[in-house]
Amino acid sequence: MTAPPASLKDAAWLREGPLARLLAVLDRDGEEARVVGGAVRNALLGEPIVEFDVATTAVPGEVIRRVAAAGFKPVPTGIDHGTVTVVIDSRPFEVTTLRQDVETFGRHASVRFGRDWRADAERRDFTMNALSVGTDGVVHDTVGGIADLQARRVRFIGDPQKRIAEDYLRILRFFRFHAAYGHGLPDAAGLHACIAGRAGLAQLSRERVRMELLKLLLAPHATPALAAMAESGLLVLVLGGVPDLAGFENMAKVEASAGVQADAVQRLGALAARIPEDAERLAQRLRLSNAEHGRLKSMSDAWWQLTPANEKGARALLYRLGAERFVDRVLLGWSRSWPRSSRAVQDDAWRALAMLPERWAIPVFPLKAADFMKRGVARGPALGAAMHEAEAAWIAADFPAEPEAVAAIAAAAAAEVRPM
Rounded to a whole number of angstroms, the CA Rg of the chain reads 28
**0.85 cut: is pTM over it?**
yes
DSSP string, 309-322: T-HHHHHHHHHHH-
Residues of the chain with CATH 1.10.110.30: 158-241
User: Kindly report the CA angle at 280 between 276 and 283, in degrees rounded to 5?
Assistant: 130
Q: Beta-carbon neighbour count of residue 177 at 10 Å?
A: 25
How much is the pLDDT for 112? 82
Burial profile 266-297: b = 16 or more Cβ within 10 angstroms, e = fewer: bbbbbbbbbeeebbebbbebbebeeebbbbbb
How distant, in Å, are the alpha carbons of 86, 172, 202, 207, 280 from that of 287?
30, 16, 14, 6, 10
- Amino acid identity for residue 399 in this structure: F
Per-residue pLDDT, averaged over 153-158, amounts to 97
User: Measured between alpha carbons, how far is 55 from 181 in angstroms, rounded to an integer?
Assistant: 23
How much is the pLDDT for 344? 63
According to DSSP, the residues that pair with 109 across neighbouring strands are 104
**How long, in residues, is the chain?**
420
How much is the pLDDT for 263? 97
pLDDT tens-digit readout, 253-265: 999 999 999 999 9
Per-residue pLDDT, averaged over 135-154, amounts to 96
- Amino acid identity for residue 404 in this structure: E
Strands 73-78 and 53-56: unpaired
pLDDT band at 417 (very low <50, low <70, confident <90, very high): confident
How much is the pLDDT for 329? 97
pLDDT tens-digit readout, 247-300: 999 999 999 999 999 999 999 999 999 999 999 999 999 999 999 999 999 999
Q: Architecture of 158-241 per CATH?
A: Orthogonal Bundle (1.10)
Per-residue pLDDT, averaged over 49-77, amounts to 96
Sheet bearing 132-133, strands edge to edge: 73-78, 83-88, 91-97, 53-56, 33-36, 132-133, 139-140
Residues of the chain with CATH 3.30.460.10: 1-151
How much is the pLDDT for 2? 47
Question: Of 221, 217, 141, 159, nearest to 186 (Cα)?
Answer: 221
User: Measured between alpha carbons, how far is 281 from 169 in angstroms, rounded to an integer?
Assistant: 21
CATH number of this structure's domain 1-151:
3.30.460.10
Q: Which ranges in 322-363 belong to alpha helices (H)?
A: 323-335, 343-354, 356-359
pLDDT band at 80 (very low <50, low <70, confident <90, very high): confident
